[in-house]
């Protein structure tokens, strides 16, 4: 992985459990505000999807976007699961 890709993954790890941030947010966080598409490509290469929660990165319009290089319900399911866990912990 490149330095850029590792910076993307490190920024992604700072997103709190049950919350989301946009690809744009990640790009700004690593000091590369115009590298939104490159952020998506770096997340696509995430070698540790369980440890590095790339599913928490969504599009600016609030839609999920791709997950592990594919479109599908996996990303939404993981986010819903995290929110359910938080809700149960708060009960």
Q: Where are the domains of the chain?
A: 3-90
What per-residue confidence (pLDDT) applies to 15? 97
Across the chain, how many H-helices and E-strands are there? 4, 2
Which residues belong to the active site? 54
Distance of CA 39 to the CA centre of its chain: 10
CATH architecture of 3-90: Orthogonal Bundle (1.10)
- What count of other Cβ atoms lies within 10 Å of the Cβ of residue 23? 21
What per-residue confidence (pLDDT) applies to 73? 76
Q: Which residues of the chain have pLDDT under 50?
A: none
């Amino acid at each position: 992985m490149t330095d850029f890709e590792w910076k993307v993954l490190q920024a992604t790890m700072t997103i709190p459990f049950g919350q989301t941030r946009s690809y744009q947010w990640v790009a700004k966080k690593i000091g590369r505000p115009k590298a939104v598409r490159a952020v998506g490509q770096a997340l696509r290469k995430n070698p540790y999807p369980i440890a590095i929660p790339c599913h928490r990165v969504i599009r600016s319009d609030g839609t999920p976007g791709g997950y592990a290089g594919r479109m599908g319900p996996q990303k939404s399911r993981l986010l819903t699961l995290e929110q359910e866990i938080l809700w149960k912990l708060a009960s």
